[in-house]
Homo-oligomer: A and B are copies of this chain.
Amino acid sequence: MKIVIDAMGGDNAPRSNVEGALSAAREWQDIEIVLVGDQQQIEALLTDRPSNLSVIHASEVIEAEDEPVKAVRRKKDSSMVVAGRMVRDGEASAMISAGNTGALMTTGLLVVGRMKGIERPALAPIIPTLDGKGVLALDLGANMDSKPEHLQQFALMGSLYREKVHGIAKPRVGLLNVGTEPGKGNELTKQAYPLLEQLPIHFVGNVEARDVMDGVCDVLVCDGFAGNILLKAIEGTAGALFSLLKEQFSQSLKTKLAAALMMPQLRSLKSTLDYKEHGGAPLLGLSGLVVKGHGSSDAGAIKNAVRQARIAVSSKLVESISNEISGK
Protein backbone atom coordinates (compact mmCIF):
# COMPACT_ATOMS: atom_id res chain seq x y z
CA MET A 1 0.00 0.00 0.00
CA LYS A 2 1.36 3.37 -1.05
CA ILE A 3 0.39 6.56 0.82
CA VAL A 4 1.41 9.89 -0.68
CA ILE A 5 1.98 13.00 1.45
CA ASP A 6 1.89 16.57 0.18
CA ALA A 7 5.15 17.70 1.76
CA MET A 8 4.53 21.40 1.10
CA GLY A 9 1.03 21.94 2.54
CA GLY A 10 0.37 23.37 6.01
CA ASP A 11 1.75 26.04 8.33
CA ASN A 12 4.68 23.87 9.41
CA ALA A 13 5.57 22.47 6.01
CA PRO A 14 7.80 20.94 4.90
CA ARG A 15 9.49 20.21 8.27
CA SER A 16 6.52 18.67 10.15
CA ASN A 17 5.37 16.78 7.10
CA VAL A 18 8.77 15.23 6.56
CA GLU A 19 9.21 14.38 10.25
CA GLY A 20 5.73 12.87 10.42
CA ALA A 21 6.38 10.85 7.27
CA LEU A 22 9.67 9.53 8.65
CA SER A 23 8.11 8.50 11.89
CA ALA A 24 5.21 6.77 10.09
CA ALA A 25 7.55 4.95 7.70
CA ARG A 26 9.55 3.64 10.65
CA GLU A 27 6.44 2.50 12.53
CA TRP A 28 4.56 0.79 9.73
CA GLN A 29 6.82 -1.35 7.56
CA ASP A 30 3.83 -2.62 5.57
CA ILE A 31 3.26 0.73 3.83
CA GLU A 32 5.27 2.76 1.38
CA ILE A 33 5.34 6.50 1.92
CA VAL A 34 5.94 8.98 -0.89
CA LEU A 35 6.71 12.61 -0.09
CA VAL A 36 5.82 14.99 -2.92
CA GLY A 37 7.31 18.49 -3.07
CA ASP A 38 10.52 20.43 -3.40
CA GLN A 39 13.10 17.66 -3.52
CA GLN A 40 15.96 19.77 -2.23
CA GLN A 41 14.03 21.04 0.78
CA ILE A 42 12.68 17.61 1.58
CA GLU A 43 16.02 15.85 1.33
CA ALA A 44 17.66 18.43 3.55
CA LEU A 45 15.19 17.45 6.27
CA LEU A 46 15.49 13.70 5.81
CA THR A 47 17.66 12.73 8.77
CA ASP A 48 17.18 9.09 7.88
CA ARG A 49 16.16 7.23 4.75
CA PRO A 50 13.99 4.19 5.51
CA SER A 51 13.61 1.87 2.53
CA ASN A 52 9.82 2.39 2.50
CA LEU A 53 10.07 6.17 2.04
CA SER A 54 10.68 7.91 -1.27
CA VAL A 55 10.54 11.44 -2.64
CA ILE A 56 8.94 12.75 -5.84
CA HIS A 57 9.80 16.24 -6.96
CA ALA A 58 7.08 18.82 -7.64
CA SER A 59 8.11 22.31 -8.68
CA GLU A 60 5.10 24.30 -7.48
CA VAL A 61 3.26 24.91 -4.20
CA ILE A 62 -0.38 25.87 -3.66
CA GLU A 63 -0.32 28.57 -1.02
CA ALA A 64 -2.88 29.12 1.76
CA GLU A 65 -4.09 32.34 0.16
CA ASP A 66 -4.41 30.94 -3.39
CA GLU A 67 -7.88 30.90 -4.93
CA PRO A 68 -8.68 27.15 -4.87
CA VAL A 69 -10.09 26.39 -8.33
CA LYS A 70 -7.64 28.67 -10.13
CA ALA A 71 -4.68 27.25 -8.21
CA VAL A 72 -5.58 23.63 -8.92
CA ARG A 73 -6.15 24.36 -12.62
CA ARG A 74 -2.96 26.38 -13.10
CA LYS A 75 -0.44 24.81 -10.76
CA LYS A 76 -0.36 21.45 -12.44
CA ASP A 77 3.03 20.62 -10.98
CA SER A 78 2.14 21.60 -7.43
CA SER A 79 2.74 19.02 -4.71
CA MET A 80 -0.98 18.77 -3.98
CA VAL A 81 -2.07 18.22 -7.57
CA VAL A 82 0.75 15.73 -8.27
CA ALA A 83 -0.33 13.74 -5.19
CA GLY A 84 -3.94 13.83 -6.39
CA ARG A 85 -2.92 12.50 -9.82
CA MET A 86 -1.11 9.60 -8.18
CA VAL A 87 -4.32 8.60 -6.38
CA ARG A 88 -6.37 9.02 -9.56
CA ASP A 89 -3.95 6.86 -11.55
CA GLY A 90 -3.88 4.15 -8.91
CA GLU A 91 -0.20 4.80 -8.16
CA ALA A 92 -1.12 5.51 -4.55
CA SER A 93 -4.01 4.30 -2.38
CA ALA A 94 -4.39 7.51 -0.39
CA MET A 95 -3.12 11.06 -0.18
CA ILE A 96 -2.66 13.35 2.82
CA SER A 97 -2.39 17.13 2.72
CA ALA A 98 -2.44 19.83 5.39
CA GLY A 99 -2.58 22.55 2.73
CA ASN A 100 -5.27 24.97 1.50
CA THR A 101 -8.61 23.30 2.33
CA GLY A 102 -10.52 24.68 -0.63
CA ALA A 103 -7.75 23.64 -3.01
CA LEU A 104 -7.67 20.14 -1.52
CA MET A 105 -11.42 19.76 -2.01
CA THR A 106 -11.00 21.00 -5.56
CA THR A 107 -8.15 18.53 -6.09
CA GLY A 108 -10.47 15.82 -4.78
CA LEU A 109 -13.23 16.78 -7.19
CA LEU A 110 -11.25 17.73 -10.30
CA VAL A 111 -8.14 15.57 -10.05
CA VAL A 112 -9.00 12.47 -8.01
CA GLY A 113 -12.63 12.54 -9.12
CA ARG A 114 -15.97 11.67 -7.55
CA MET A 115 -16.96 8.10 -6.86
CA LYS A 116 -19.60 6.85 -9.27
CA GLY A 117 -23.04 7.38 -7.75
CA ILE A 118 -21.91 10.01 -5.24
CA GLU A 119 -23.35 13.43 -5.96
CA ARG A 120 -21.34 15.43 -3.46
CA PRO A 121 -18.18 14.38 -1.63
CA ALA A 122 -18.09 15.55 1.99
CA LEU A 123 -15.40 16.69 4.40
CA ALA A 124 -15.72 14.78 7.67
CA PRO A 125 -13.67 16.04 10.63
CA ILE A 126 -14.08 14.90 14.23
CA ILE A 127 -15.84 17.31 16.60
CA PRO A 128 -14.65 16.86 20.20
CA THR A 129 -17.02 15.39 22.78
CA LEU A 130 -16.84 15.18 26.56
CA ASP A 131 -16.16 11.45 26.56
CA GLY A 132 -13.09 12.04 24.37
CA LYS A 133 -14.40 9.83 21.58
CA GLY A 134 -15.52 12.65 19.32
CA VAL A 135 -18.20 12.66 16.67
CA LEU A 136 -17.52 12.44 12.93
CA ALA A 137 -19.44 15.34 11.40
CA LEU A 138 -20.18 15.64 7.70
CA ASP A 139 -20.40 17.68 5.66
CA LEU A 140 -18.23 20.36 7.19
CA GLY A 141 -17.49 22.76 4.45
CA ALA A 142 -17.38 21.02 1.10
CA ASN A 143 -21.00 21.83 0.16
CA MET A 144 -22.87 24.93 1.17
CA ASP A 145 -26.30 24.00 -0.18
CA SER A 146 -27.22 20.35 0.19
CA LYS A 147 -30.19 18.33 -0.97
CA PRO A 148 -31.87 15.67 1.19
CA GLU A 149 -30.30 12.95 -0.99
CA HIS A 150 -26.84 14.37 -0.28
CA LEU A 151 -27.44 14.11 3.45
CA GLN A 152 -28.52 10.52 2.92
CA GLN A 153 -25.21 9.73 1.22
CA PHE A 154 -23.28 11.57 3.93
CA ALA A 155 -24.97 9.36 6.54
CA LEU A 156 -23.99 6.19 4.76
CA MET A 157 -20.39 7.24 4.15
CA GLY A 158 -19.93 8.50 7.71
CA SER A 159 -21.30 5.31 9.19
CA LEU A 160 -18.97 3.15 7.08
CA TYR A 161 -15.97 5.30 8.01
CA ARG A 162 -16.64 5.01 11.74
CA GLU A 163 -17.12 1.28 11.42
CA LYS A 164 -14.11 0.55 9.22
CA VAL A 165 -11.58 3.09 10.46
CA HIS A 166 -12.58 3.59 14.09
CA GLY A 167 -13.88 0.07 14.73
CA ILE A 168 -17.28 1.13 16.05
CA ALA A 169 -19.66 -1.80 15.57
CA LYS A 170 -22.96 -0.03 14.96
CA PRO A 171 -22.17 3.67 14.71
CA ARG A 172 -25.04 5.84 15.98
CA VAL A 173 -25.90 8.30 13.20
CA GLY A 174 -27.71 11.53 14.12
CA LEU A 175 -29.15 14.36 12.03
CA LEU A 176 -28.23 17.89 13.21
CA ASN A 177 -31.51 19.65 13.83
CA VAL A 178 -33.34 22.25 15.92
CA GLY A 179 -35.32 19.75 17.98
CA THR A 180 -35.32 16.03 18.65
CA GLU A 181 -38.85 15.22 17.42
CA PRO A 182 -39.05 13.72 13.87
CA GLY A 183 -41.18 16.57 12.42
CA LYS A 184 -38.73 19.32 13.42
CA GLY A 185 -36.46 21.36 11.22
CA ASN A 186 -36.17 23.21 7.97
CA GLU A 187 -37.25 21.76 4.64
CA LEU A 188 -33.86 20.07 4.18
CA THR A 189 -33.81 18.19 7.47
CA LYS A 190 -37.53 17.36 7.34
CA GLN A 191 -37.04 15.70 3.96
CA ALA A 192 -33.74 14.07 4.89
CA TYR A 193 -35.15 12.39 8.02
CA PRO A 194 -37.19 9.67 6.25
CA LEU A 195 -34.31 9.08 3.80
CA LEU A 196 -31.96 8.40 6.71
CA GLU A 197 -34.53 6.03 8.20
CA GLN A 198 -34.39 3.93 5.02
CA LEU A 199 -30.62 3.32 5.21
CA PRO A 200 -29.01 0.14 6.58
CA ILE A 201 -27.46 2.18 9.42
CA HIS A 202 -28.19 2.76 13.11
CA PHE A 203 -30.06 6.08 12.74
CA VAL A 204 -30.76 7.64 16.14
CA GLY A 205 -32.86 10.56 14.88
CA ASN A 206 -32.43 14.30 15.27
CA VAL A 207 -29.65 15.70 17.44
CA GLU A 208 -29.66 19.22 18.82
CA ALA A 209 -26.52 21.37 18.72
CA ARG A 210 -26.46 21.57 22.51
CA ASP A 211 -26.21 17.77 22.84
CA VAL A 212 -23.43 17.19 20.29
CA MET A 213 -20.61 17.52 22.83
CA ASP A 214 -22.29 15.02 25.14
CA GLY A 215 -21.44 12.33 22.60
CA VAL A 216 -25.02 11.30 21.79
CA CYS A 217 -23.97 10.00 18.36
CA ASP A 218 -20.89 8.75 16.50
CA VAL A 219 -21.75 10.37 13.18
CA LEU A 220 -23.46 13.73 12.80
CA VAL A 221 -25.07 14.51 9.44
CA CYS A 222 -25.49 18.14 8.37
CA ASP A 223 -25.13 20.46 5.41
CA GLY A 224 -21.85 22.34 5.14
CA PHE A 225 -23.33 25.67 6.20
CA ALA A 226 -24.96 24.43 9.43
CA GLY A 227 -21.92 22.26 10.16
CA ASN A 228 -19.60 25.24 9.85
CA ILE A 229 -21.79 27.29 12.21
CA LEU A 230 -21.77 24.42 14.72
CA LEU A 231 -18.03 23.75 14.63
CA LYS A 232 -17.03 27.40 14.76
CA ALA A 233 -19.52 28.17 17.54
CA ILE A 234 -17.97 25.37 19.62
CA GLU A 235 -14.46 26.66 18.86
CA GLY A 236 -15.43 30.25 19.58
CA THR A 237 -17.18 29.47 22.84
CA ALA A 238 -14.36 27.29 24.12
CA GLY A 239 -11.83 29.96 23.15
CA ALA A 240 -13.89 32.70 24.79
CA LEU A 241 -14.28 30.69 27.98
CA PHE A 242 -10.59 29.97 28.23
CA SER A 243 -9.73 33.63 27.76
CA LEU A 244 -12.29 34.61 30.42
CA LEU A 245 -10.85 31.99 32.77
CA LYS A 246 -7.34 33.25 32.15
CA GLU A 247 -8.39 36.82 32.84
CA GLN A 248 -10.12 35.87 36.06
CA PHE A 249 -7.26 33.66 37.18
CA SER A 250 -4.90 36.60 36.99
CA GLN A 251 -7.04 38.96 39.07
CA SER A 252 -5.41 38.46 42.47
CA LEU A 253 -2.74 36.53 44.31
CA LYS A 254 -5.45 34.15 45.52
CA THR A 255 -6.72 33.36 42.05
CA LYS A 256 -3.18 33.11 40.68
CA LEU A 257 -2.51 30.47 43.29
CA ALA A 258 -5.68 28.66 42.28
CA ALA A 259 -4.59 28.83 38.66
CA ALA A 260 -1.25 27.26 39.47
CA LEU A 261 -2.96 24.44 41.35
CA MET A 262 -5.35 23.86 38.45
CA MET A 263 -2.93 24.13 35.56
CA PRO A 264 -2.52 20.40 34.74
CA GLN A 265 -6.31 19.94 34.79
CA LEU A 266 -6.89 22.96 32.58
CA ARG A 267 -4.35 21.73 30.07
CA SER A 268 -6.03 18.35 29.84
CA LEU A 269 -9.40 20.13 29.51
CA LYS A 270 -8.07 22.15 26.63
CA SER A 271 -6.70 19.11 24.88
CA THR A 272 -10.03 17.27 25.23
CA LEU A 273 -11.57 20.12 23.26
CA ASP A 274 -8.81 20.44 20.72
CA TYR A 275 -10.08 18.88 17.55
CA LYS A 276 -6.63 19.07 16.02
CA GLU A 277 -5.69 16.22 18.35
CA HIS A 278 -8.21 14.02 16.61
CA GLY A 279 -6.13 13.81 13.43
CA GLY A 280 -7.08 14.36 9.84
CA ALA A 281 -10.49 14.69 8.26
CA PRO A 282 -11.32 12.35 5.38
CA LEU A 283 -12.86 13.73 2.22
CA LEU A 284 -15.42 11.01 1.53
CA GLY A 285 -17.11 10.14 -1.74
CA LEU A 286 -14.07 10.31 -4.02
CA SER A 287 -12.73 7.48 -6.13
CA GLY A 288 -9.70 7.32 -3.83
CA LEU A 289 -8.92 8.29 -0.26
CA VAL A 290 -8.00 11.91 0.50
CA VAL A 291 -7.23 12.95 4.08
CA LYS A 292 -7.09 16.60 5.06
CA GLY A 293 -4.68 17.40 7.89
CA HIS A 294 -5.31 20.53 9.96
CA GLY A 295 -3.40 23.57 8.67
CA SER A 296 -1.35 23.73 11.86
CA SER A 297 -0.48 20.01 11.81
CA ASP A 298 2.73 19.07 13.56
CA ALA A 299 4.69 15.86 12.90
CA GLY A 300 2.42 13.90 15.26
CA ALA A 301 -0.70 15.04 13.41
CA ILE A 302 0.78 14.02 10.06
CA LYS A 303 1.69 10.62 11.47
CA ASN A 304 -1.84 10.31 12.85
CA ALA A 305 -3.26 11.03 9.41
CA VAL A 306 -1.08 8.25 7.97
CA ARG A 307 -2.37 5.90 10.67
CA GLN A 308 -5.97 6.66 9.62
CA ALA A 309 -5.24 6.34 5.92
CA ARG A 310 -3.51 3.00 6.52
CA ILE A 311 -6.52 1.59 8.38
CA ALA A 312 -8.96 3.00 5.83
CA VAL A 313 -7.07 1.45 2.92
CA SER A 314 -6.54 -1.93 4.53
CA SER A 315 -10.20 -2.11 5.59
CA LYS A 316 -11.24 -1.31 2.02
CA LEU A 317 -13.24 1.76 2.99
CA VAL A 318 -13.54 3.23 -0.51
CA GLU A 319 -14.64 -0.10 -1.99
CA SER A 320 -17.25 -0.55 0.78
CA ILE A 321 -18.73 2.89 0.14
CA SER A 322 -18.79 2.18 -3.58
CA ASN A 323 -20.56 -1.15 -3.04
CA GLU A 324 -23.20 0.37 -0.76
CA ILE A 325 -23.85 3.25 -3.14
CA SER A 326 -24.09 1.12 -6.27
CA GLY A 327 -26.13 -1.54 -4.48
CA LYS A 328 -28.89 0.92 -3.72
Chain A residues close to B by CB (< 8 Å): 130, 141, 144-145, 176, 178, 185-187, 189, 208-214, 223-226, 228-241, 243-245, 248-249, 251, 254-255, 257-259, 261-262, 265-266, 268-269, 272-273
Q: How far is the CA of A239 from the CA of B214 in the complex (A)?
A: 10
| Interchain residue pairs with CB less than 8 A apart (13) | A130-B243, A145-B186, A189-B225, A209-B228, A210-B232, A211-B236, A225-B226, A230-B233, A234-B237, A237-B237, A241-B269, A248-B262, A249-B265
Contact A208 B232 (CB under 8 A): yes
Residues of B within 8 A of A272 (CB): 244
Contact B240 A269 (CB under 8 A): no
Q: How far is the CA of A231 from the CA of B208 in the complex (A)?
A: 11
Q: How far is the CA of A262 from the CA of B251 in the complex (A)?
A: 10
Q: Closest CB of chain B to A252's CB: distance in Å? A: 9
* Chain B: CB-nearest residue to A260: B258
Contact B225 A210 (CB under 8 A): no
Contact A255 B261 (CB under 8 A): yes
Residues of B within 8 A of A237 (CB): 213, 233-234, 237-238, 241
Residues of B within 8 A of A178 (CB): 141, 144, 224-225, 228-229, 232
* Chain B: CB-nearest residue to A233: B233
* Chain B: CB-nearest residue to A254: B261
Residues of B within 8 A of A210 (CB): 232-233, 235-236, 239
Residues of B within 8 A of A273 (CB): 241
User: Looking at the complex, which one of B231, B239, B262 makes contact with A249 (CB distance below 8 Å)?
Assistant: B262
Q: How far is the CA of A49 from the CA of B231 in the complex (A)?
A: 51
* Chain B: CB-nearest residue to A184: B144
